[in-house]
Amino acid sequence: MTARTPDHPVDELFVNRWSPRAFDRSEMPEADLKTILEAARWAPSAFNIQPWRFVYARRGDANWQTLVDLLNPFNRDWGQHASALVYLFSDTEVDGKDGKPGRPNGYHAFDAGSAWTHAALQATRLGYHAHGVAGILKEEIHERLGVPERYHPQIAFIIGKRGDVSELPESLQAREVPSSRMTLDEVAHAGAWA
């Protein structure tokens, strides 16, 4: 594995988290998946609305193939070898209270991203890898999974333990290493945009 070195001291959990595609086809205990989703549940959200929702399946259960089939073909080719698959949705509306009408939720995607990050880091802590993918069949998801229209499908995340890289298509094998990041100076500017 390629060494990743942070510019400033951070917990190794952040540096060790990465998104492989080679998974070992092992089954995941339900308790591990529930721990990952529990971590996501504790993510911060605007006004504590908690707009994230999950639809999940574990390898070997009755819903596994349905969720695999909702990945686009590129992600399906390798994602089908994982241990769990989770679809992340965000609620685009805020219910009204005290006689006030509901309103659009302008932060639903941001908050759902926070939940995804918590899940990915908890997966890493448990010895798994979580790979978030935007390549999902968004047009089919609502009907196939019975999701109300107000919930926007954000991503799927594919969870599992690392498998044999040689089982990936040749075009993906060289990419099966942790990626680098831009320097902090490239993304953070003191006082104003540099």
Asked if pLDDT for residue 29 goes beyond 60, the answer is: yes
In this prediction the pTM is 0.94
Residues 162-185 have pLDDT tens digits of: 999 999 988 899 999 999 999 999
Q: Which residue is listed with tokens 């219910």?
A: 95
Contact 52, 85 (CB under 8 A): no
Q: CA distances (Å), 106 to each of 40, 89, 95, 98, 100, in order?
A: 20, 14, 13, 21, 17
CA distances to 153, 163, 181, 193 from 21, in Å: 21, 8, 19, 35
**pLDDT for residue 1 is more than 50:** no
pLDDT per position as a tens digit, 154-163:
999 999 999 9
The rounded distance, in Å, linking the Cα atoms of 111 and 51 is 7
What pLDDT digit, counting tens, does each position of 137-158 carry?
Answer: 999 999 999 999 999 999 999 9
